[in-house]
Amino acid sequence: MEPTKKFVSGDEAVAIGVKLAKPHVIAAYPITPQTIVVERLAEMVESGELESEYMYVESEHSALAAVMGASVLGARTFTATSSQGLLYMAEVLHYASGGRVPLVMMNANRSVALPWSIFGDQRDSLSLLDSGWIQVYVEDAQESLDMMLQAYAIAEHPDVLTPVMVNLDGFILTHTYECIEIPTSEQVETFLPKFEFANKMDINEPKNLFFSSSPEHNIGFKYQQHKAIENAKSVIEEIDKKYEAVTTRGYGGLVDAYKCDDADYIIITLGSITGLVRDVVEELRSEGQKVGVLKVRYMRPFPDEEIRAYTKAAKVIGVLEKDISFGYQGTVFTNVSAALRECDVQLINYVAGLGGKNIAREEIVHIYKELNDTENKSKVSAVKSQAVRFVGVEVPKDED
């Protein structure tokens, strides 16, 4: 059988990816712009295309708790959320990672109230970076489907046993239609092993799970949790290669670098904005400018070595992100800065697209120009230029 092609939205691509992974249990709760995922899954279960137990639950908090319950028996599960829903789950996110439950969840990146906004930015998931989940950010519908399958392989890997959150930019990706290639069930079977959970509950060998621990033991568990996410780095690379061998599509693991090797000026991105930045790089390269774009695919585990490796030649780096940690800087920027703390390179943080504000092509061009200008400025102004810059916000002169 040959892979088929289909014209679908990002949400639908996720649903197809989940279907191919054949989860035993799906917990559904609606929230824009995720809802289409659980709607499509309901249709698939109803039509008999997918054999899963489909649970409608009363909240996101319950959605995640319910799939944890199913998972400890050895069931493969799925749930999806967004924004306020993800934050409502926050407690359970820590619970799942601390309990080493290999869940897979899709999150539609959406702004966080107040002000209310159903539109996209990445403040929801980035504010939960420390919840112990592996976080991957995808760029298009094809990657959305492919990463659902990879996510199960990563989460369930015995060296990892850590939940994975697959993040799609709300609307820009969840609701945009693209043509995707759907792997065959034979390909999926070759790639994705059956879920075997060594720590599962067993009637003949009863287990007491999700326990308390004394201060004496607690830090040891936390160390193991940290090691597991560090282990995920090589597992992610390995699984991506395996996926590529089966489907011909690989994503490069923790980062995806485009024309970074000799680039003087690099923009670091997260998620769907990368496509536009890549187009701008093409254009500026054709004019002879040495520019590149480095897409961070995983925020946890964080690709610090990869970022150092791909930015060796860079003079100035802009970190473009749809997030702000109020009173400091964007979270991606903070992480990138820490990775590059011993490198001789200047960094500027561009905060853009909050609450769904469009990031225009011209703004990207302008960022590359600013990166170029920064290098040519004196040290003093370079220091000033390190302040967070809000793209598309009119700032009074005295505040600049």
- Among 105-113, 159-167, 207-215, 269-277, the segment contacting other proteins (CB under 8 A): 207-215
Residue 69 or 356 having the CB closest to other proteins: 69
Residue whose token pair is 């997260």? 270
- Binding to other proteins by CB under 8 A, coded x per residue (else -) over 15-44, reads ---------xx-x-----------------
Give min distance, CB of 220 to other proteins, in A. 10
- Among 66-74, 144-152, 311-319, 351-359, the segment contacting other proteins (CB under 8 A): 66-74
Residue 195 or 310 having the CB closest to other proteins: 195
What's the rounded Cα separation, in Å, for the pair 363 and 392?
8
Give min distance, CB of 71 to other proteins, in A. 7
Q: How far is CA 222 from CA 216, 228, 299, 301, in A?
A: 12, 10, 19, 15
Query: What secondary structure letter does DSSP report for 2?
Result: P
- Among 74-82, 104-112, 173-181, 223-231, the segment contacting other proteins (CB under 8 A): 74-82
If one asks whether residue 92 binds other proteins (CB under 8 A), the answer comes out as yes
If one asks whether residue 373 binds other proteins (CB under 8 A), the answer comes out as no
Gap between the terminal Cα atoms of the chain? 60
Binder among 63, 188, 229, 281 for other proteins (CB under 8 A):
63
∠ at Cα 370 (365, 373), nearest 5°? 130
Determine the distance from the C-alpha atom of residue 241 to the mean position of all C-alpha atoms in its chain, rounded to a whole number: 19
If one asks whether residue 131 binds other proteins (CB under 8 A), the answer comes out as no
Residue 205 or 287 having the CB closest to other proteins: 205
CA dihedral 132, 269, 375, 261 (to 10 degrees): 100
- Other beta carbons less than 10 A from residue 358's beta carbon: 11
If one asks whether residue 230 binds other proteins (CB under 8 A), the answer comes out as no
Residue 203 or 380 having the CB closest to other proteins: 203
Binder among 47, 214, 286, 378 for other proteins (CB under 8 A):
214
Residue 101 or 294 having the CB closest to other proteins: 101
Residue 99 or 253 having the CB closest to other proteins: 99
Binder among 46, 202, 230, 261 for other proteins (CB under 8 A):
202
Give min distance, CB of 209 to other proteins, in A. 4
If one asks whether residue 97 binds other proteins (CB under 8 A), the answer comes out as no
Binder among 42, 45, 75, 382 for other proteins (CB under 8 A):
75
Query: What secondary structure letter does DSSP report for 90?
Result: H
What's the rounded Cα separation, in Å, for the pair 26 and 52?
7
Q: Which residues contact 338 (CB under 8 A, 6 or more apart)?
A: 304
If one asks whether residue 286 binds other proteins (CB under 8 A), the answer comes out as no
Give min distance, CB of 56 to other proteins, in A. 7
If one asks whether residue 380 binds other proteins (CB under 8 A), the answer comes out as no
- Among 61-69, 231-239, 338-346, 366-374, the segment contacting other proteins (CB under 8 A): 61-69
What's the rounded Cα separation, in Å, for the pair 141 and 174?
8
Is residue 296 within 8 Å of residue 255, measured between CB atoms? Answer: yes
If one asks whether residue 70 binds other proteins (CB under 8 A), the answer comes out as yes
Query: What secondary structure letter does DSSP report for 184?
Result: P
Which tokens is 388 given? 């967070």
Sheet holding 25-28, edge to edge: 53-56, 25-28, 77-82, 104-109, 164-169, 134-137, 298-300
- Among 183-191, 201-209, 280-288, 378-386, the segment contacting other proteins (CB under 8 A): 201-209
If one asks whether residue 52 binds other proteins (CB under 8 A), the answer comes out as yes
Determine the distance from the C-alpha atom of residue 226 to the mean position of all C-alpha atoms in its chain, rounded to a whole number: 18
- SS3 readout for 246-293: HHCCCCCCCEEEECCCCCCEEEEEEHHHHHHHHHHHHHHHHCCCCEEE
Give min distance, CB of 329 to other proteins, in A. 32
Binding region for other proteins (CB under 8 A): 24-25, 27, 52-53, 55-59, 61-63, 65-75, 77, 91-92, 95, 201-203, 206-214, 217
